[in-house]
């Protein structure tokens, strides 16, 4: 029997010592036109001072849909999301980062996509990036193909900007609970989650509406844009462990688009990556990197 009191969506927001921007994120969820959701906020060990600020913001909004979980120690974004997944009661989980913002009809559009596609497991949508407050491109530029793997979509489709950003992602709760984030990784956690999710052959649908804003502050120490700071050896090890999820073409593009720039920056295995035989598939990108190197 269907539980009529069960929320349809569980919105999960991990947060760590971010306050002003987080208030905008919080309000963007509470202003949703689709109201059947619970909001699971996981404070990732920010400490007593932040806990009090967070609880005050929740109290003044007086919304029983909000549930706050304060972790006693910092476990990282993956661990905080896993805590939220474990607590989720909704039929689908919608992820949102603590500095990103939804338009008011984001969940409504996701709900309509799910209703129109019976049995769908994953819904995602475009996102517009703001870097230091400046509006950038909307990505991805196209949807995933019917027979295209998530691994190929993320890496072989280089023109789409690797377009399954977490703050747009909606996943069936039962699937997410059996595909938790890898808490041991210090980066590429979203890729790990998506690649392993793809290994389960989920039914994925693309919502064409750009209703999420991603805010990145590249010159600030609290930026969550961790991937740009990951070193070459870490990304190489990730490739070694996860290439089983990638086709031959996706492997080539990972090596050229992810490993090569890091190789150039660190001067590690530079010759090997510059002259990797597969680079011919991405020759314009390689030439641009060689020009920058000179």
* 8-60 per-position pLDDT tens digit: 999 999 999 888 889 999 999 999 999 999 999 999 999 999 999 999 999 99
Count of other CB atoms within 10 angstroms of residue 2? 6
User: In this predicted structure, which of 124-133, 155-164, 237-246 has the lowest mean pLDDT?
Assistant: 155-164
Mean per-residue pLDDT over the chain, rounded: 87
Taking 60 as the threshold, does the pLDDT of residue 292 lie above it?
no
Taking 60 as the threshold, does the pLDDT of residue 110 lie above it?
yes
Residue 215 CA to residue 76 CA, distance in Å, equals 19
Structure tokens that stand for 22 in this block: 């987080």
Nearest to 54 by CA among 68, 40, 64: 68
Taking 80 as the threshold, does the pLDDT of residue 153 lie above it?
yes
* Cα separation values, 123 from 14, 95, 165, 204, Å: 20, 11, 11, 6
* Domains, in order of start, for the chain: 9-216 (3.90.550.10), 230-293 (no CATH)
* C-alpha dihedral, 250 to 128 to 205 to 117, nearest 10°: 180
Residue 10 CA to residue 19 CA, distance in Å, equals 22
Structure tokens that stand for 65 in this block: 């849909």
The average pLDDT across 167-180 equals 97
Contact criterion met (CB below 8 Å) for 102 and 32:
yes
Question: pLDDT by residue (tens digit) across 245-286?
Answer: 998 888 888 888 888 888 877 777 766 666 665 555 555 555
């Amino acid at each position: 029997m269907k539980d009529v009191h069960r929320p349809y969506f569980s919105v999960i927001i991990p947060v760590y010592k971010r306050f002003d921007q987080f208030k905008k994120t919080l309000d963007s969820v509470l202003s949703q036109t689709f109201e059947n959701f619970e909001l699971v906020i996981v404070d990732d060990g920010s400490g007593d001072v932040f806990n009090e600020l967070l609880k005050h913001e929740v109290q003044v909004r007086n919304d029983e849909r909000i549930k706050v979980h304060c972790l006693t120690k910092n476990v990282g974004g993956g661990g905080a999301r896993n805590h939220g997944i474990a607590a989720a009661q909704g039929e689908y989980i919608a992820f949102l980062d603590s500095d990103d913002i939804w338009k008011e009809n984001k969940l409504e559009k996701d709900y309509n996509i799910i209703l129109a596609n019976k049995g769908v497991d994953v819904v995602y949508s475009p996102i517009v990036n703001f870097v230091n407050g400046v509006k950038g491109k909307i990505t991805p530029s196209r949807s995933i193909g019917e027979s295209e793997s998530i691994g190929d979509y993320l890496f072989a489709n280089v023109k789409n900007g690797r377009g399954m950003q977490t703050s747009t992602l909606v996943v069936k709760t039962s699937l997410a609970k059996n595909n938790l984030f890898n808490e041991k990784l210090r980066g590429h956690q979203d890729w790990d989650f998506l690649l392993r999710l793809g290994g389960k052959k989920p039914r994925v649908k693309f919502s064409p509406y750009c209703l999420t804003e991603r805010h990145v502050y590249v010159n600030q120490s609290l930026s969550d844009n961790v991937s740009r700071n990951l070193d070459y050896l870490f990304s190489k090890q990730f490739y070694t462990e996860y290439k089983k999820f990638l086709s031959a073409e996706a492997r080539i593009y990972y090596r050229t688009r992810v490993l090569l720039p890091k190789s150039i920056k660190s001067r590690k295995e530079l010759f090997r990556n510059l002259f990797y035989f597969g680079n011919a598939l991405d020759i314009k990108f390689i030439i641009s990197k060689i020009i920058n190197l000179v």
